[in-house]
Amino acid sequence: MSKPANLPQQLDHMLRQAVALQQNGALADAEALYREILELKPRHFEALQLLGAISLQTGRIVEGIDLLNKALAINAKQAPLHSNLAYALNVQQRFADALASADRALSIQPKFPDALNNRGNAQAGLNRSLDALASFDRALSLTPAFAQAWNNRACVLRDLGRPADALASCDQALALQPGYPDAWSNRGNALSDLNQPEEAERSYRRALELAPGFADAWNNLGLTQIDLNQHTQALQSYERALAANPDAAETHWNESLCLLQLGRLEAGWQKYEWRWERSRIKATKRVFAQPLWLGDFSIEGKTILLHAEQGLGDTLQFCRYAALVSKLGAKVVLEAPRELTRLMSTLDGVDQLIEAGEPLPPFDCHCPLLSLPLAFKTDLASIPSHTPYLFAEPEAAQQWRERIDAKADGRLKVGLVWAGGNRPHVAELRKNDARRSIAFERIAPLLAVPDVQFVSLQKGPPAQQLADYPSAPDIVDYTAELDDFADTAALVANLDLVISVDTSTAHLAGALDKPVWILNRFDTCWRWMLERTDTPWYRSATLFRQPAPGDWNSTIEAARKALAELAT
């Protein structure tokens, strides 16, 4: 078919029509016209870029990127195209490419708020929060009424541990655009960080009124319902989130934690495998040529690598499964972090112990430690609860016994840990770390109990609080002499009791079968389940739970009374 002689005028007329349709929201009609133009002239610059914009608007990101790249091949001097491409690449989480595209847009047009906003999102995706904040601030200095930039700015302020500023930024976005669901949901996140779950819930509900299929808002509502001790409702919220986005790894993961908390272990372990799809954990997933074993084939006569993952407490809790694996007739190789390697040499069922980072021996299959409960189909009745399964080195324990007994002079010997580790670079962990830890001065009522010799087991920066507390009674502190958990185990073996917040030392005491009182936050970690004062994981453990979020005073008072009884 020959092209009409007056093709340029015809294309011009069609383009004007398509643009008018696009501006009036008739996207499908506009798209059909752009496609007609491209049939007549495949390298028509305006049709390529405008059709690319429609593709992005309607969520067809791959097609949009292809069209924008075709347009840029014709004319690379257009800042809006580079900026739109940056937006699309951010959606695909290709943050380094998105940043390069945003920077190209800004090299052409330095005062371009859209490109600055897209650059900020790319920088946030690359964990460059301060750079991202600077980009959003620059965009807002040029266009103060840019609601999306206020909203995105709130996200990086949260990442920077500034929830009150994040809340103010969300409120700016909502003053400009009251019907903005993302800003309502992010407002809920900031309120959650500020430990205001009821207010957070109201913000999520508003987001969901505006956008009933908003998966992230349903997921965040579920998390806040956990904070409010509404676990059944949280499961319903996660269900709604997964109906809207079935592949949302974070939601599957949150659902797993909720199921485990409720004691529905078998369903919980299956969902727990979604942890490897989470963006925060994906990078730490070990990839081996050998198959993953989840109890689904015989390992008799085979060598299996069990490898530690996540925190030291997790490794201390789940290394107990090595003995069960060994009983299936396998040779067990256990890889563990340096701090735990010497202690793990006392663990039953391990044929070879490897320090993390050392070369691995040949093996036939592997399993991460926290997948072992799934492999063994562990339910409440079948938790391998025999303790002790880890042991102090006898000679080192004897040396500590002489020192500690001389110091205690017949009094009760009690170890103390008041703070867990601090991981400020991860918002969810930062919140948990802050909620599970106590300032040293908060435990002062315990210290007033007579006939007790307290021993500090606190490591890390919070240990300094002991030196800073002017009227600290007679607490002995040998932590400078503790290099690894085998050292700590030898010391703990000589105590009558350990009182600890939810941290690795509590797991160590439990694994050694030493009496341990765990001072536990209201929004408890999944492993301690709900409303119990005991735990099937450690028969020597007693849980002292916060009766309400943040209420350490009641928890400490309950522990003080119990300690006073024990001491007499």
> What's 519's domain CATH number?
3.40.50.2000
Mean pLDDT of the chain: 92
The 10s digit of each residue's pLDDT in 341-399 is 999 999 999 999 999 999 999 999 999 999 999 999 999 999 999 999 999 999 999 99
At residue 174, the pLDDT reads: 98
The 10s digit of each residue's pLDDT in 192-212 is 999 899 999 999 999 999 999
Same domain for 425 and 349 = no
- Does the structure show a pLDDT above 50 at 528? yes
Same domain for 516 and 489 = yes
d(CA 234, CA 120): 32
Same domain for 502 and 449 = yes
- Does the structure show a pLDDT above 50 at 91? yes
Banded model confidence at residue 16, pLDDT cuts 50, 70, 90: confident
User: How much of the chain, in percent, has pLDDT values that exceed 90?
Assistant: 77
- Does the structure show a pLDDT above 60 at 561? yes
d(CA 333, CA 347): 12
At residue 350, the pLDDT reads: 98
Banded model confidence at residue 63, pLDDT cuts 50, 70, 90: confident
Give ∠ CA 156-136-76 in degrees, rounded to 5: 120
At residue 523, the pLDDT reads: 87
The range of the structural domain enclosing residue 358 comes to 303-382
Same domain for 415 and 563 = yes
CATH code for position 372: 3.40.50
Same domain for 489 and 532 = yes
Q: Which of 44-48, 99-103, 354-358, 495-499 has the lowest mean pLDDT?
A: 44-48
Give SS3 for 217.
Answer: helix
Same domain for 529 and 420 = yes
Same domain for 401 and 339 = no
Q: Which of 41-45, 262-266, 378-382 has the lowest mean pLDDT?
A: 41-45
Taking alpha carbons only, the member of 55, 104, 60, 57 closest to residue 83 is 104
> Are the C-beta atoms of residues 354 and 335 closer than 8 Å to each other?
yes
Rounded alpha-carbon distances, angstroms, from residue 559 to 446, 547, 552, 563: 7, 13, 10, 6
Q: Mean pLDDT throughout 427-449?
A: 85
Q: Which helix (H) or strand (E) holds 541?
A: strand 541-545
Residue 206: inside a domain, yes or no?
Answer: no
Q: Which of 7-21, 127-141, 276-290, 339-353 has the lowest mean pLDDT?
A: 7-21
Side chain identity at residue 41, one-letter code: K
- Does the structure show a pLDDT above 90 at 433? no
Banded model confidence at residue 423, pLDDT cuts 50, 70, 90: low
Q: Which of 328, 350, 382 is the last residue of a domain?
A: 382
Q: Which of 382, 409, 434 is the last residue of a domain?
A: 382
- 280 vs 274, residue with greater confidence: 274
Residue 495: inside a domain, yes or no?
Answer: yes
- Does the structure show a pLDDT above 50 at 457? yes
List, in sequence order, every beta strand (DSSP E) within 406-466. 412-417, 452-456
Please tell me the chain's helix, strand, coil percentages from 3-state DSSP, rounded to the nearest 5.
Answer: 60, 10, 35
- 484 vs 5, residue with greater confidence: 484
At residue 427, the pLDDT reads: 60
At residue 58, the pLDDT reads: 75
Q: 426 is written with which tokens?
A: 């991860």
Q: How many domains does the chain have?
A: 2
Residue 136: inside a domain, yes or no?
Answer: no
Q: Which helix (H) or strand (E) holds 335?
A: strand 331-336
At residue 5, the pLDDT reads: 57
Q: Which of 324, 349, 382 is the last residue of a domain?
A: 382
Residue 450: inside a domain, yes or no?
Answer: yes
> Are the C-beta atoms of residues 423 and 433 closer than 8 Å to each other?
yes
Same domain for 553 and 429 = yes
Residue 106: inside a domain, yes or no?
Answer: no
At residue 1, the pLDDT reads: 47
Residue 529: inside a domain, yes or no?
Answer: yes
d(CA 21, CA 24): 5
Residues 6+ apart with CB under 8 A from 349: 322, 323, 324, 325, 326, 327, 332
At residue 472, the pLDDT reads: 61
State whether the Cα torsion 398-402-404-408 is positive or negative.
positive
CA 417 to chain centre: 24
At residue 426, the pLDDT reads: 60
Banded model confidence at residue 34, pLDDT cuts 50, 70, 90: confident
Same domain for 333 and 474 = no
Residue written as token pair 């562990």: 378
Residue 542: inside a domain, yes or no?
Answer: yes
At residue 77, the pLDDT reads: 87
The 10s digit of each residue's pLDDT in 132-189 is 999 999 999 999 999 999 999 999 999 999 999 999 999 999 999 999 999 999 999 9
Bond before 181 cis per omega within 30 degrees: no
Same domain for 411 and 557 = yes
Residues 6+ apart with CB under 8 A from 221: 188, 201, 204, 205, 208, 237
Same domain for 454 and 407 = yes
- Does the structure show a pLDDT above 70 at 428? no
Banded model confidence at residue 485, pLDDT cuts 50, 70, 90: very high
Residue 185: inside a domain, yes or no?
Answer: no
Taking alpha carbons only, the member of 184, 180, 193 closest to residue 223 is 193
